[in-house]
Amino acid sequence: MTWSVWGLKMLRTVCLFVIIGLAIAKHEVYEGYGLYKLSVKTTDQVELVNYLSKALDLDVWSHAIPGHDGQVLVPKDKKPLFQNELKAAGVEFQIESDNIKDILDLEDQLLSEAARKNNGSRLDSLPFDQIYTYHQVDTFLDMLAEAYPETVTLVNAGKSFEGRDIKYIKISSGDFETSTKPIVFLESLLHAREWITLPATLYAIHKLVIDVTEQDLIQDIDWIILPIANPDGYVHTHGEFRLWRKNRNTNLGVGCMGVDLNRNFDINWSEASSNIPCLDTYHGRGPFSEPETSIIKSVFDQYSDRIGLFLDIHSFGSMILYGYGNGVLPPNGLMVHLLGVRMAESIDAVKMSWNPNYVVGNVALVLYDASGSAGDYAQSVGVPYSYTYELPGHRFGIGGFGFFVDPAFIEQAGFETWEGTTTIALTRTHARLGSQEKDKGGYTPILKSYHSYKVYNIELKTVQQQEKIRILKSDLIDFWRFPNYKYGVMGQVMVPPSHFIWFDEKLEELGINRDVYIEDVYQYLSEVENRTSLSRNVGEEYYFDVNKYHRYDNILAYLRKLEQESVDSLSKVELVEYGVTAENRPLVYLRVGRGANDNNSPEKPIIVIESATNPRDWVTIPAALNIVENLLKESRFLENLEWIIIPVLNPDGYEYTHTNLRLWQKSRSTNSNMGHICPGVNINRNFDYDWQNFDASSSPCSHVYAGVEPFSEIESRMIQDIINKNAPRLKLYMSLQNNGGYISIPWYYEKAASGMFRQQYLLGLEMVKTMNNAYNLDVGSVIFDRMSGTSVDYVRSKAVLYTYNFDVVQRGNGVIIPEEDISDIVEDVWKATAVAAEEIIRLYSEELRILTAFPSPLPK
């Protein structure tokens, strides 16, 4: 067909629509179509649904698999038969819309309202609450190339079947010719009706050209972005046929138009697609028979050796899929999968709470066999990482999801997809940098974390609220301070944007009010960081002030110096190197005592102080070191006792809070199946006591991940060894932490006090009384709710007399305690420790007295 004939036809069609449009509304072809949601439980049911969909030629929007509902569009006249078959097979279904035309009309209305509102605003500001037409995008790309000639090159790659220009842009901080720079290739709208995918590529363009916040992304990577891969189909969906999928090939006039472009690539072509032109998966007359796919092929021809990542963006279903479509995995399949998981997680962290988590997997295993796809083709020509995104359906007015676009969520779709894209793009390029610092310790996490996270104050008003508070606990909810009704302690909770609505709903359920304490945690932390200046030199002249924060190397140097200095003194300080951590840091503790033990007396009692288990609790390190300094000054505590002080139980995590994530809570070990993707174990959940039951997770990506098994981590094993080697001399064990001003007593794993409650409570009271700041005293599980696998529960179970969690009072915002507040806090810790030490000495002399009175061995 020539251009002029096509033009005439088009003109006639347009006129026709105008005339019809006056008489009746749009979308008449979908009148009475019903949208069905299907839940299948067995593979038999899957097969039945697939068979039925084929036999009735239904439009399958998403395939039902067990655990993942499907959506099928059913014409009016086929509804009774379809429903009967489903009922007979016991497939559960729900009619989401009995007339899809209503939703199409609503979508139209909302989008045109948004467009009206934006009318007059400049296209280059690109408001993200609108779906742009082919023409608007075309104009936008032209303008962009003109406005940003330094970074943007516009390529007119050829014409579509109906003669529209297919344009992509190249984005580069250089000239796009640096052969060592990897290329990321993004593409959307290969399927015409998947409108929400367009904002995903436009958002990427926006963040790479107009609003650049991450220089790495253009310094280290070149980009090719093709926003409208199927312009004819796309234009068609803006007319009467909103749900058109294919291109607009006339198929030699057989009566059905269009080729499924995502079945037309030359990879296993025609093996799992249709040869019937009327079907939605028609693969065309031959591989690359279509101009649209040939144009994409030419991009691969030109750059296949440099394209490190190809992302073909589709909708919908919340999936990240990879090849091959026949179920055969690429040779690097494991890495493809793991990085896909990493992408999915970064999206899940910011997605809308009502959308499901992303599913990651091989397309044939997750969905169905498919041949000739763009993603498979990319993989087959040597692109190491090739994925097909299926973006989520976004919440839509009256409950329809799927392909419909609600303007309120267009920006969200762009934003969250960009999270996934940048995650993998940076990971890949950093991995390419090989031995450089950036890549140290595996895959580099992204520093932009906590962006738009909020911290809320919440106050409990009733016991009932306290009892139900655990419904707020989730992997993504971070209690900076756990709220407590009994003691009037205000809670501070950090919530990611993805969970704002979820969080509000839960608070409403509990009847709790909140106010915003920190508007944007990222910004807050950047400001705090600017105020804190850590000294880094470890020279001879270096004066180590324990009332300041220090990096781990400096702390180690200080500890070594203490050991050296004790050589000529009565007090003995021994630095024990227990082993090395996952990131090769020495894991150490101090033994502090005086002289040799008198063989005629029972051995001296031992007190253990553990700190920086949760690495973001920085203040606990000065607290422990201050104890050491005081001990060295007051000889009676060393004459009668021996001390084991662990100033930094989790050095890897601690360093990580300096270099990457200030609020990190785990170690950095990688011994789980997902270790390289989600490193780290929460050490205070890794002890062998009621392991993994409460406030602990089996997911390596959770901040309360309990590890692959109890004592899987060297940090917890060190405590285990200390206990085993020194019991029964161990009389007091304190874990220093930072959560709200409490001295707490086991148990943590169950809502009951341990058998030593009375003694522990009385001594705890003495400790509380001696301190300047107000502390509360109670059973741990009462204060914090139940948690499993904690160090203190474990130690208590080993018959250590006194065991406490010592949560210091919080200043500043709690988690981040300003340096100027350290000395006041650590002085209190020392006072309480001294009171407890006195009690141990008293018990010890009592024991001595009894021994002297009965010199023979004590009766068993």
Residues carrying an active site annotation: 390
Residue 370 or 745 with smaller CB distance to Zn ion:
370
Q: Compute φ and ψ for 450, nearest 5 degrees.
A: 70, 10
Nearest to 108 by CA among 197, 167, 26, 192: 26
Count of residues of this chain found to bind Zn ion when the rule CB under 5 A is applied: 2
Q: Which two tokens stand for residue 454?
A: 């909020």
Stretch that binds Zn ion, among 86-94, 189-197, 633-641, 654-662 (CB under 5 A): 189-197
Annotate each residue in 681-710 with x if it binds Zn ion (CB under 5 A) or - if it does not, as one string.
------------------------------
Residue 104 or 196 with smaller CB distance to Zn ion:
196
* Separation CA 506–CA 476 (nearest Å): 14
By the rule CB under 5 A, 167 interacts with Zn ion: no
3-state secondary structure of 253: helix
**C-beta atoms surrounding 770 within 10 Å:** 16
* Separation CA 162–CA 1 (nearest Å): 9
Residue 297 or 314 with smaller CB distance to Zn ion:
314
Stretch that binds Zn ion, among 17-25, 184-192, 466-474, 567-575 (CB under 5 A): 184-192
Annotate each residue in 730-769 with x if it binds Zn ion (CB under 5 A) or - if it does not, as one string.
----------------------------------------
**Helix %, strand %, coil % for the chain, to 5?**
40, 15, 45
Nearest distance, CB of residue 233 and Zn ion, angstroms: 11
Stretch that binds Zn ion, among 312-320, 456-464, 604-612, 823-831 (CB under 5 A): 312-320
Q: Compute φ and ψ for 61, nearest 5 degrees.
A: -80, -40
Residue 391 or 573 with smaller CB distance to Zn ion:
391
Stretch that binds Zn ion, among 157-165, 186-194, 660-668, 833-841 (CB under 5 A): 186-194
Which H or E element spans position 415? helix 410-432
Nearest to 250 by CA among 227, 282, 228: 282
3-state secondary structure of 444: coil
Nearest distance, CB of residue 195 and Zn ion, angstroms: 11
Stretch that binds Zn ion, among 185-193, 278-286, 657-665, 711-719 (CB under 5 A): 185-193
Q: Are 677 and 443 in contact (CB under 8 A)?
A: yes
Residue 246 or 342 with smaller CB distance to Zn ion:
246
Q: Are 620 and 612 in contact (CB under 8 A)?
A: yes
3-state secondary structure of 839: helix
**C-beta atoms surrounding 105 within 10 Å:** 15
Nearest distance, CB of residue 202 and Zn ion, angstroms: 18
Q: Are 462 and 504 in contact (CB under 8 A)?
A: no
Cα dist. 737→30, 552, 613, 624, 777 in Å?
62, 18, 8, 11, 14
Work out which of 181, 193, 242, 314 binds Zn ion, going by CB under 5 A: 314
Stretch that binds Zn ion, among 21-29, 176-184, 188-196, 363-371 (CB under 5 A): 188-196
Nearest distance, CB of residue 262 and Zn ion, angstroms: 6
Residue 189 or 832 with smaller CB distance to Zn ion:
189
For the chain, the maximum distance between any two Cα atoms, rounded to a whole number of angstroms, is 117
Annotate each residue in 270-309 with x if it binds Zn ion (CB under 5 A) or - if it does not, as one string.
----------------------------------------
Residue type for 747, please? W
Residue type for 199, please? P
Nearest distance, CB of residue 162 and Zn ion, angstroms: 20
Residue 300 or 403 with smaller CB distance to Zn ion:
403
Q: Compute φ and ψ for 842, nearest 5 degrees.
A: -60, -45
First to last CA, the chain: 105
Annotate each residue in 456-495 with x if it binds Zn ion (CB under 5 A) or - if it does not, as one string.
----------------------------------------
Residue 37 or 191 with smaller CB distance to Zn ion:
191
Q: Which residues contact 724 (CB under 8 A, 6 or more apart)?
A: none
Nearest distance, CB of residue 340 and Zn ion, angstroms: 17
β-pairing verdict for 478-481 and 454-458: unpaired
Residue 191 or 658 with smaller CB distance to Zn ion:
191
Nearest distance, CB of residue 313 and Zn ion, angstroms: 9
Which H or E element spans position 321? strand 319-322
* Separation CA 152–CA 811 (nearest Å): 49
Nearest distance, CB of residue 314 and Zn ion, angstroms: 3
3-state secondary structure of 661: coil
Cα dist. 441→337, 428, 431 in Å?
20, 14, 11
Nearest distance, CB of residue 501 and Zn ion, angstroms: 28
Stretch that binds Zn ion, among 62-70, 311-319, 611-619, 810-818 (CB under 5 A): 311-319
- Exposure class string for 715-749: b at 16+ Cβ within 10 A, else e: bbbbbbebbeebeebbbbbbbbbbbbbbbbbbbbb
Nearest distance, CB of residue 200 and Zn ion, angstroms: 12
Nearest to 233 by CA among 276, 269, 197, 274: 197
> Is the dihedral angle over the CA atoms 820, 826, 828, 830 positive or is it negative?
negative
Nearest distance, CB of residue 319 and Zn ion, angstroms: 11
Residue 360 or 592 with smaller CB distance to Zn ion:
360
Stretch that binds Zn ion, among 74-82, 181-189, 310-318, 755-763 (CB under 5 A): 310-318
Stretch that binds Zn ion, among 190-198, 301-309, 361-369, 641-649 (CB under 5 A): 190-198
By the rule CB under 5 A, 263 interacts with Zn ion: no
Nearest distance, CB of residue 388 and Zn ion, angstroms: 8
By the rule CB under 5 A, 191 interacts with Zn ion: yes
* Separation CA 271–CA 293 (nearest Å): 18
Q: Are 728 and 788 in contact (CB under 8 A)?
A: no
Residue type for 584, please? N
Which H or E element spans position 308? strand 307-315
Residue 293 or 672 with smaller CB distance to Zn ion:
293
Residue 188 or 667 with smaller CB distance to Zn ion:
188
Residue 245 or 585 with smaller CB distance to Zn ion:
245
* Separation CA 591–CA 645 (nearest Å): 7
The residues facing 777 across adjacent strands are 743
Nearest to 655 by CA among 576, 581, 722, 730: 581
Q: Which residues contact 422 (CB under 8 A, 6 or more apart)?
A: 207, 214, 217, 346, 446
Nearest distance, CB of residue 191 and Zn ion, angstroms: 3
Q: Are 322 and 375 in contact (CB under 8 A)?
A: yes
Residues that bind Zn ion (CB under 5 A): 191, 314
